Chains A and B, each alone.
Chain A
Amino acid sequence: MVSRLREKCRIAGLFWSPRGLVPEARRSIVRVTGGKKGVSTTVRAAAPLVTEPVDAQASPSPIVVGAIAVAGCAAAALSFDLSLGSEFGRAPYVHATLVAWITLSYVLCGLIAWRRRPESRFGPLMVLTGFAPTVARLEEASTGPVQAIGDGLSLLPPVMLLHLFLAYPSGRIERRFDRFIVVSGYAVVFGTGLVRLLLEGVGLDGGSNGVVNAQRAAIVVLAFGALGALISRRRSSARRFRTSRELLVACFALALVGLGVGIVMTAVDAPGTYLARWVAFGLVGTAPVLLLFGHLRAGLARSAVGDLFVELRSDPEPSELKDALARALRDPSLALVYWLPEYGTYADLNGQAVALPRPGEGRAVTLIDRNGDHVAALLHDPAVEDEPKLLEAVTAAAGIALENGRLHADLKARLEELRGSRARIVAAAQKERQRLERNLHDGAQQRLVALSLELSLIESKVEGNPGARAQLDWARREIAATLDELREVAKGIYPAVVTGHGLEVALEQLAARAAVPVRLAVHVGGRLPEPIEVAGYYVVSESLANVAKYAEASKATVDVSKLNGLLAVEVTDDGIGGADTESGTGLRGLADRVEALGGRLRVWSPNGGGTRVRAEIPCA
Chain B
Amino acid sequence: MRVAIAEDSVLLREGLERLLSENGLEVVGSSETGEDLLLKVRSFSPDVAIVDIRLPPTHNDEGLRAALEIRSKHPSVGVLVLSQYVEVGLALKLLSESAEGVGYLLKDRISDVKEFVAAVRRVAEGGSALDPTIVSTLLARQRADDPVSQLTPREREVLELMAAGSSNQGIADSLVITLRAVEKYVSSIFGKLGLPSTGSESRRVLAVLLYLRS
Residues in chain A within 8 A of chain B (CB atoms):
438, 441-442, 445-447, 449-450, 452-457, 459-460, 476, 479-480, 483, 487, 490-491, 496-497, 499-501, 504-509, 511-518, 554-555
Does residue B142 face the partner (Cβ distance < 8 Å to A)? yes
A501 near B61 with CB under 8 A, answer yes
Please name the residue on chain B nearest to A438 by beta carbon.
B59
Does residue B69 face the partner (Cβ distance < 8 Å to A)? no
Please name the residue on chain A nearest to B12 by beta carbon.
A450
Contact of A512 (CB < 8 Å), options: B19, B85, B213: B213
CA distance A457 to B108 in the complex (A): 14
**9 new A-B pairs (CB below 8 Å) besides A442-B59, A453-B16, A514-B141?**
A441-B59, A446-B84, A447-B11, A450-B9, A450-B15, A456-B113, A500-B54, A500-B64, A516-B142
Assuming the A-B contacts A441-B84, A505-B87, are A517 and B143 also in contact, with contact meaning beta carbons closer than 8 angstroms in the complex? yes
Does residue B156 face the partner (Cβ distance < 8 Å to A)? no
Question: Taking the nearest CB of chain B, how far is it from the CB of A402, in angstroms?
Answer: 49
B22 near A505 with CB under 8 A, answer no
- The residues of A that contact B93 with a CB separation of less than 8 Å are 501, 505
For A454, A514, A515, the residue with the greatest tally of chain B CB atoms inside 10 Å of its CB is: A454
B82-116 with Cβ < 8 A to chain A: 84-85, 87-90, 92-93, 107-108, 110-113
A508 near B108 with CB under 8 A, answer no
For A483, A496, A508, A554, the residue with the greatest tally of chain B CB atoms inside 10 Å of its CB is: A508
A512 near B108 with CB under 8 A, answer no
Does residue B154 face the partner (Cβ distance < 8 Å to A)? no
CA distance A505 to B65 in the complex (A): 14
B57-83 with Cβ < 8 A to chain A: 59-61, 64
A446 near B11 with CB under 8 A, answer yes
Does residue B137 face the partner (Cβ distance < 8 Å to A)? yes
Chain B 131-167 near chain A by CB (<8 Å), digits 1 or 0: 0000001101111100000000000000000000000
Please name the residue on chain B nearest to A505 by beta carbon.
B89
B88 near A509 with CB under 8 A, answer yes
For B59, B88, B89, the residue with the greatest tally of chain A CB atoms inside 10 Å of its CB is: B89
Contact of A445 (CB < 8 Å), options: B64, B84, B140: B84
Assuming the A-B contacts A450-B11, A505-B87, A512-B213, are A457 and B113 also in contact, with contact meaning beta carbons closer than 8 angstroms in the complex? yes
B113 near A501 with CB under 8 A, answer no
CA distance A517 to B143 in the complex (A): 5
B15 near A453 with CB under 8 A, answer yes
- The residues of B that contact A507 with a CB separation of less than 8 Å are 89
Name 5 A/B residue pairs within 8 A (Cβ), A-sorted: A449-B107, A459-B113, A487-B84, A507-B89, A509-B88
- The residues of B that contact A452 with a CB separation of less than 8 Å are 108, 110-111
CA distance A490 to B107 in the complex (A): 15
Does residue B192 face the partner (Cβ distance < 8 Å to A)? no
A501 near B11 with CB under 8 A, answer no
Assuming the A-B contacts A501-B64, A509-B137, A517-B143, are A449 and B110 also in contact, with contact meaning beta carbons closer than 8 angstroms in the complex? yes
- The residues of B that contact A516 with a CB separation of less than 8 Å are 142
CA distance A207 to B90 in the complex (A): 104
- The residues of A that contact B87 with a CB separation of less than 8 Å are 497, 501, 505-506, 508-509
Question: Taking the nearest CB of chain A, how far is it from the CB of B151, in angstroms?
Answer: 17
Please name the residue on chain A nearest to B110 by beta carbon.
A453
Question: Taking the nearest CB of chain B, how far is it from the CB of A103, in angstroms?
Answer: 87
- The residues of A that contact B180 with a CB separation of less than 8 Å are none
- The residues of B that contact A505 with a CB separation of less than 8 Å are 87, 89-90, 92-93
Contact of B85 (CB < 8 Å), options: A457, A479, A497: A497
A517 near B142 with CB under 8 A, answer yes
CA distance A446 to B64 in the complex (A): 18
- The residues of B that contact A455 with a CB separation of less than 8 Å are 111
Question: Taking the nearest CB of chain B, how far is it from the CB of A575, in angstroms?
Answer: 14
A517 near B144 with CB under 8 A, answer yes
Does residue B18 face the partner (Cβ distance < 8 Å to A)? yes
Please name the residue on chain A nearest to B13 by beta carbon.
A450
